[in-house]
């Protein structure tokens, strides 16, 4: 019976495949422009206040906690979110995030236990499912997953990483590999 259960990490990996429909134009614009969070120790947020950045770091660690693989903050997903908000989100989306972070601060999120934080985010998730517009939770979840799974840590340690084997040989004599062309089927 234990083999039928799925853990949170596997569930996140599977739902990340479905995110194509959830990601906004702003997110895709940032990804296509090569947006990457700097990996500096003396990081200061570009969009968020320091308090909002710390809250975001706590939030991403509830969504993707550290297990046998790095968590979202280890992959600097919170910095990725700040960079995306600063450079690629429109003012209405920025306002949604600011208001959501303010509401999260008002719940005392940073003083809650991990289990209580999960409950708060579950409530936000339930509420987001009832809203017609893109919610704070939907934006933060999407950005956390995108930031995590496109980071080096997420792509190589949480996902299966299989770099293309061998070297590229652009122009080779056909006789070197059997004298026949390769088919695509």
The Cα angle at residue 101 between residues 99 and 106, in degrees rounded to 5? 95
Q: pLDDT value at position 75?
A: 94
Dist. CA 143–CA 78, nearest whole Å? 9
Q: pLDDT value at position 134?
A: 82
Where b means 16+ CB within 10 Å and e means fewer, 148-171 reads: bbebebbeeebeeeeeeeeeeeee
Query: Does residue 49 or residue 25 have the better pLDDT?
Result: 49
> CB within 8 A of 70, min separation 6: which ones?
153, 154, 157, 158
Query: Does residue 37 or residue 5 have the better pLDDT?
Result: 5
pLDDT tens-digit series, residues 72-119: 999 999 999 999 999 999 999 999 999 999 999 999 999 999 999 999
pLDDT tens-digit series, residues 114-166: 999 999 999 988 888 787 678 899 999 999 999 999 999 988 888 876 666 66
């Amino acid at each position: 019976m234990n083999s039928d259960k799925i853990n949170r990490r596997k569930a996140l990996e599977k739902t990340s495949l479905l995110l194509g429909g959830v990601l906004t134009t702003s997110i895709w614009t940032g990804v296509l422009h090569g947006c990457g969070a700097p990996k500096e120790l003396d990081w200061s947020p570009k969009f968020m206040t320091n308090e909002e950045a710390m809250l975001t770091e706590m939030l991403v660690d509830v969504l993707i906690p550290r297990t046998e693989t790095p968590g979202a903050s280890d992959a600097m997903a919170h910095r990725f979110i700040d960079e995306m908000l600063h450079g690629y989100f429109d003012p209405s989306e920025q306002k949604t995030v600011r208001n959501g972070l303010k509401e999260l601060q008002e719940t005392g999120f940073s003083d809650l236990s991990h289990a209580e934080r999960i409950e708060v985010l579950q409530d936000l998730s339930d509420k987001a499912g009832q809203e017609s517009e893109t919610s704070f939770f939907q934006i933060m979840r999407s950005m956390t997953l995108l930031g995590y799974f496109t980071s080096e840590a997420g792509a190589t340690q949480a996902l299966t990483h299989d770099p293309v084997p061998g070297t590229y040989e652009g122009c080779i004599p056909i006789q070197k590999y059997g004298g026949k062309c390769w088919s695509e089927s």
